[in-house]
Amino acid sequence: MDIKAAQKIVTDLQNLLNQYSYEYYVMDKPSVPDSEYDKLLRELIEYEEQFPELRTPDSPTHRVGGAILDMFEKVEHSSPMLSLANAFNEDDLRDFDRKVRQAVGEDYSYVCELKIDGLAVTLQYENGYFTRGATRGDGTVGEDITENLKTIKTIPLKLKEAVTLEVRGEAFMPKKSFEALNKGKEERGEEPFANPRNAAAGSLRQLDPKLAAKRKLDIFLYAIADLGETGVKSHSEGLDLLDRLGFKTNHERKKCAGIEEVLEYISGWGEKRPNLAYDIDGIVVKVDSLDQQEELGRTAKSPRWSIAYKFPAEEVITTLRDIELNVGRTGVVTPTAILDPVRVAGTTVQRATLHNEDLIREKNIKIGDKVVVKKAGDIIPEVVNVLAEQRTGDEKDFFMPTHCPECDSELVRLEGEVALRCINPKCPAQIREGLIHFVSRNAMNIDGLGEKVISQLFGEHLIKDVADIYKLTEEQLLGLERMGEKSASNLLHAIQASKGNSLERLLFGLGIRHVGSKAAKTLAQELGSMEALSKATAEELTSINEIGGKMADSVVSYFEMEEVQELLKELEAAGVNFEYKGPRPVSPEEFDSIFAGKTIVLTGKLSILTRGEAQEKLEALGAKVSGSVSKKTDLLIAGEDAGSKLAKAESLGIDVWDEEQLIEELNK
């Protein structure tokens, strides 16, 4: 076939597939079966492979993902992507309304929109074609994730008009996609995502666009970066323009004449929220008139013409059917509530931690009770209280056992502890949990070696300690359930790669009592090698800043054990690195940073950085990051839903920054 004939076929296929995609994903009115769309797409791929010069910027084949990227480039936004101030109750909203009324008078209206729980992005179009997309980043500079964004089928690659503009929106993972993704991860023995927001952010911030394509993300566009060039006079008109151009906007929005209508809208969505196909965590309220927005202006961090109302943590009622006991890697026996499945904050919950026997008694929990459940921080399920008035008389008291449920050794309660503990070092549950800890993300970070795979390996007697992980063969792995050749090969590669980890990861992974990830890094930095650490005395260890007597004694006792020395010999023989590879410790005087020598506490939920990333950046600039607020604290970084630490810092007169201030200073 000559190129002229192919040109017509390719153009017709591209136009047809783009139309079908718009009908299906944006209008929610599919006109052809999925099989027909897939057949035409395969045909287009074949033609474009034969005639690559015919592949246009708006071709649907961009949706399947391109080559793996080396890195994300930084993108400076044409105008800042500001965060919104938060409202948590009616008083906050009325206070916002009062300030609006004082500034613009009585003639104004609001637009209310669902606050999608996802990742804020910005999209640039030139002459109608999608040219670049980026994350919000710190509001001024984001990351170029164009190739990943192209895989979202609701983002038009070509607009209905040849306009040049920049639009903002929220990329998210629908509940259905999230459930399918986590089901697959669990089947492979991998750590599931905590919530759809994390899953969406993780999908867009990884370097293989083909993986992003498989995650089936979606997007709602909610703003044009500069409405002044469009001729529209209000925010609601801007949303209508986005619709006309072919973007997907959220049609659950409503124009409200005043604060009473806003409160009514919020109340309605508080009840209807669980029925949505995606997660929302609040309602965004915006002054509609662009002239009034201009008059209200903004602070350094957020506009004065908009506010985000945050829903309180969702609470639901279910039945507590049983209480199971779990033995952790340190021997602590933890009771866990087994619940009738119930959907809470976007995911189905069947288990909730009860922490210890004292808490069960304090909350008067019985097996068979109707209980109120919520997710602490929208992540960890917990039993809030019991509905004692609904008891039938069939409920049963729960008593902690006297012996370990795994090895039948007698349980003890150590002085000063509320937890019961199994102190048998050969307890199989402790060994298994220790193996799971060793491969976890903050320890040796062996991708693909999750809890289920570890349990299989341990159950089949293929591993009995962490050194055995480095002796695994492909043949042994292929004998596991749901383990194919590719998965086995990938896992062996991940195990091999973990041998090169810096010493602090290995130290944390070994599970030495009282040594957390931060202490492991401190020890690795100060002593430099496993050999030096294993020979250190308690006096030498306590001379290190932040290493106390209890931790020092624990470290010395650990390395004195004969079985530990044997284990280390096996790990060394396997080629596991025993040296510290990170930056050397330096004194605050060596840093040109306002953070140098400061004691800083992180609290609340950060949206741009993870806690670990923030801590790493601060420590790299000479700060000491602490877990608790005291008179010695110099600065508190408070994210969303900051609680008691924020209150204590304010009572002590300690400086408090939000994440925006932190990012701004880090960028300097």
Catalytic residues: 115
Using CA atoms, how far residue 533 sits from 437, 509, 557, 574, in Å, is 21, 15, 12, 20
Place of tokens 């496993």: 530
Backbone angles phi, psi at 611, to 5 degrees: -60, -45
**End-to-end CA gap in the chain:** 58
Residues with Cβ within 8 Å of residue 447, at least 6 apart in sequence:
190, 490, 491, 494
Task: Name the token pair of 621.
Answer: 């600039």
Largest CA distance in the chain: 85
Task: Name the token pair of 367.
Answer: 């097996």
What are the percentages of helix, strand and coil residues in the chain, rounded to 5? 40, 20, 40
Task: Name the token pair of 343.
Answer: 């959907």
Residue 298's SS3 state is strand
CA 655 to CA 400: how far, in whole Å?
A: 45
Identify which of 668, 408, 362, 624 has the alpha carbon closest to the alpha carbon of residue 518.
Answer: 624
Contact 303, 348 (CB under 8 A): no
Return the beta strands (E) in 154-302 as ranges: 165-172, 218-224, 254-256, 280-287
Dihedral angle computed from the Cα positions of residues 424, 428, 429 and 433, in that order, rounded to the nearest 10 degrees: 100
Residues with Cβ within 8 Å of residue 141, at least 6 apart in sequence:
74, 75, 76, 77, 667
